[in-house]
Amino acid sequence: MADVATLREAKPRPGGPRPGRSGALTAGRLGPKVRRNAAAYGFLVGAVLCFTFFSWYPIVREIIMSFQKAVYGGGYAWDGWANYVRIIHDPAFWQAWRNTVEFTLLALVIGYAVPFCTAILLNELRHARGYLRVLVYLPVMLPPASALLLFAYFYNPQYGLFNHILGLLHLPTSQWVLQPGTGFVSTAMISVVIASTWMNMGAATLIYLAALQNIPGELYEAAELDGAGLFGRIRHITIPQTRLVLIMLLMLQVVATMQMFVESFVLTNGDGGPGNNTQSVVMLIYQYAFAYSGASNYNSASALGVMLMVVLAVFSGGFLWATRERG
């Protein structure tokens, strides 16, 4: 009787794991999951390493260098806030910030409105829409230096295309980017904004166009039945329906235009134009690091870069807080 009871206790219960097969089943179930997760974590590790070495480490290194100074014989020593004090007392510092803010405001007036209006126009067309999309996007596919060299030829006071057109119309010619600054808005800065707008408007136009095509056509039909004209439809339908896209591109454009460098550098041969009237903050960073003489150029450039980063971070955070959805 004892042997029968022992055998009953040793007999596996229905629904329980069978002896000798539980390990195989567990390994078979975990195998694909482990391999699948390993591939995902592998891609994640690669992305984290790329951000670490090419984004986060340079930012941390820049912040550290902004508080250091170069010492004779190589290496760096701690210098506190001396680099920040030095660049704040540089007259070129305030001129660069003034030019950068001026460029950003002009880009918002011209470069922000032109792509949106172009997208509305393309959305209203019924023929050759695809051809015009390619034509609008074509400048984006050009290398920035090539596009700006083309505009440098157009702006040339002696043989440029723009002065030639003005001469044919019997209008006074201009020095364009070589025009000395007069008043708050200089001709040189407007010329830089026009070149930048032509060079970068294609991507924004296509984004706006995609947003416009997602608006239900019934809204426009109902507005037309109510007697709304073109501007009424744009005000009451187009702008509210594309509000999120407009807000996001507004923030991205401000962040991008505050870092203006290549436009002014190419059009003015790297010297910021007459009286530095097109010198931006990023160009001043370049000049601190590579053009000016001195032992702490890289550290002063790092300090100015940190200041620009803080300004853009504060603006981005404040802008996102002001435009967040409130429940």
The Cα 97–Cα 315 span in angstroms is: 15
What is the predicted pLDDT for the residue at 224? 79
- Residue-wise pLDDT for 57-92, tens only, equals 999 999 999 998 877 777 778 888 988 999 999 888
Reply yes or no on whether the pLDDT at 181 is more than 70. no
CB neighbours of residue 101 within 10 Å: 14
- Residue-wise pLDDT for 1-24, tens only, equals 445 455 455 555 555 555 545 555
**Residue 308, CA distances (Å) to 20, 57, 89, 93 in order:** 66, 18, 16, 11
Contact 126, 268 (CB under 8 A): no
Rounded to two decimals, the pTM is: 0.79
What is the predicted pLDDT for the residue at 3? 52
- Residue-wise pLDDT for 37-50, tens only, equals 777 778 888 888 98
The Cα 140–Cα 202 span in angstroms is: 6
What is the predicted pLDDT for the residue at 68? 87
Q: Average pLDDT, stretch 238-264?
A: 89
What is the predicted pLDDT for the residue at 240? 85
- Residue-wise pLDDT for 252-298, tens only, equals 889 999 999 998 888 887 777 777 888 899 999 998 888 765 545 88
What is the predicted pLDDT for the residue at 18? 52
- Residue-wise pLDDT for 202-212, tens only, equals 888 999 988 88
Reply yes or no on whether the pLDDT at 314 is more than 90. yes
What is the predicted pLDDT for the residue at 89? 92
What is the predicted pLDDT for the residue at 310? 94
pLDDT top residue among 117 and 183? 117
Reply yes or no on whether the pLDDT at 149 is more than 80. yes
Dig out the tokens for 17 from the structure: 């794991």
Residues of the chain with pLDDT > 90: what percent? 17
State the pLDDT confidence band at 327, using cuts at 50, 70 and 90.
very low
**Residue 316, CA distances (Å) to 101, 262, 321 in order:** 15, 23, 8
Mean pLDDT of the chain: 82
The Cα 202–Cα 103 span in angstroms is: 19
State the pLDDT confidence band at 182, using cuts at 50, 70 and 90.
low
State the pLDDT confidence band at 306, using cuts at 50, 70 and 90.
very high
Contact 263, 286 (CB under 8 A): no
Q: Average pLDDT, stretch 230-240?
A: 83
